[in-house]
């Protein structure tokens, strides 16, 4: 029964705008989450690289 409730809005959207539009929307939502996670990882990597760089400059000087 729960699966039917989850599928009903999806089928309504497909009926209104068509399968390609619904699929594109679904993929955009999925990719947005992944891009946000990648952005956070890259930001963390930049901070780690800067921290490591400042540590090596402190030990050299």
Query: Does the global pTM surpass 0.75?
Result: no
pLDDT band at 13 (very low <50, low <70, confident <90, very high): confident
The three-state DSSP-derived secondary structure of the chain is CHHHHHHHHHHHHHHHHCHHHHHHHHHHHHHHHHHHHHHHHHHHHHHHHHHHHHHHHHHHC
- Res. 7: pLDDT tops 80: no
Cα 5 from chain centre:
26
**How much of the chain exceeds pLDDT 90, in percent?**
34
pLDDT band at 25 (very low <50, low <70, confident <90, very high): confident
Question: What are the φ and ψ backbone dihedral angles of 18, each rounded to 5 degrees?
Answer: 100, 155
pLDDT tens-place string over residues 38-53 = 999 999 999 999 998 8
């Amino acid at each position: 029964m729960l699966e039917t409730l989850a599928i009903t809005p999806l089928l309504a959207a497909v009926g209104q705008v068509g399968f390609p539009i619904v699929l594109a929307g679904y993929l955009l939502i999925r990719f947005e989450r992944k891009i946000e996670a990648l952005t956070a990882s890259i930001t963390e990597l930049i901070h780690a690289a800067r921290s490591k760089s400042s540590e090596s400059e402190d030990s050299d000087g």
